[in-house]
Amino acid sequence: MVGLTIDLLAKLHDLENAATKHDLLSIYLDAVLSVGNVHVTIVELNRIEDPKENFIHVGYPTEWVNFYIENNYIVSDPIIKKSRFMSHPYFWHEIKNINKAEKKIIRDVSEFGIKKGLTIPVHTHDRVIYAICFAFTDKNIDREIELYLRALSNFFITGYKKLDEPADMSLPILTPREKECLTWTAKGKSSWETGMIVGVSERTVNFHINNALLKLKCTNRIMGVVRAICAGLIEL
């Protein structure tokens, strides 16, 4: 516990001195992943009247993310939805008052090597909610690790808001081809397979996908697909 406390203080100091959101996120992820056996995803939500989500970071196993997207779980995921109404951390298996479809999501995630899940909701003064979701590959989570992650996460969001820039609320404009290529990517198709389906070369598919990622301000395809679906730019 002493070692974890010393490490926490050092990480909080690093977070405090981060100059950009990119640096802040890198420091935070490094600190989280140092505990081992954990994946983390960070989602930004507004209040009930604006239910769209913005995925700041997706760190779940790729197989689960693909399955999640293919089954359109984004619209009914209780792991995220409960953050709108709860201000304290909750383990996924303890989520109550959910319907059959929502229970299925909780069951399905366990089929992808996730033994336990924890969400830390952080509500900020400007009516924004951050759901920080931890997926553990180990069923037994020490209380010290939980407290470590809670302290890190709250400090991370404080820093994130401090570095906040005026948000550009306008949706990026994707061309029909960019939407088409992203949609097939969301369905698990490779660039080569997408090219065969739409009748263009693999290189052309990569060109359109990379353009879409630039417009969406995403660094990888998974983030791009998730953000495009959440923004209503593509449908499955």
| Per-residue model confidence as pLDDT tens digits over 46-86 | 765 555 678 899 999 999 998 998 888 888 899 988 898 88
Whether 140 contacts 37, CB under 8 Å = no
In this structure, the answer to whether residues 88 and 199 fall within a common structural domain is no
Question: Is the pLDDT assigned to residue 2 strictly greater than 50?
Answer: no
Residue 203 and residue 168: Cα distance in Å, rounded?
A: 31
pLDDT of residue 165: 60
8-22 average pLDDT score? 88
What one-letter code names the amino acid at 188? G
- Looking at residue 35, which CATH number applies to its domain? 3.30.450.80
**Domain membership flag for residue 94:** yes
What one-letter code names the amino acid at 35? V
Provide the 10 A C-beta neighbour count for residue 7: 15
Crossing angle of helices 2-16 and 143-162, in 10° steps, is 10
Domain that holds residue 66: 1-164
**Domain membership flag for residue 213:** yes
Please state the length of the chain.
236
pTM of the prediction? 0.78
In this structure, the answer to whether residues 151 and 62 fall within a common structural domain is yes
Question: Is the pLDDT assigned to residue 3 strictly greater than 60?
Answer: no
Task: Tell me the CA distances in angstroms from 32 to 21, 144, 147, 176, 194, one per residue in order.
Answer: 16, 13, 12, 39, 36
Question: Is the pLDDT assigned to residue 87 strictly greater than 60?
Answer: yes
Per-residue b/e over 206-222, b at no fewer than 16 CB within 10 Å?
ebbbeebbebbebeebb
Residue 93 and residue 61: Cα distance in Å, rounded?
A: 19
pLDDT tens across 127-161, in order?
Answer: 889 999 999 999 888 889 999 999 999 999 999 98
Indicate the pLDDT class of residue 175, thresholds 50, 70 and 90.
Answer: very high
Strands 53-57, 90-91: pairing is: unpaired
In this structure, the answer to whether residues 76 and 28 fall within a common structural domain is yes
Minimum mean pLDDT range among 1-15, 32-46, 112-126 = 1-15
pLDDT of residue 127: 81
Indicate the pLDDT class of residue 7, thresholds 50, 70 and 90.
Answer: confident
Residue 7 and residue 152: Cα distance in Å, rounded?
A: 11
Question: Is the pLDDT assigned to residue 4 strictly greater than 80?
Answer: no
Domain total for the chain?
2
Question: Is the pLDDT assigned to residue 166 strictly greater than 80?
Answer: no
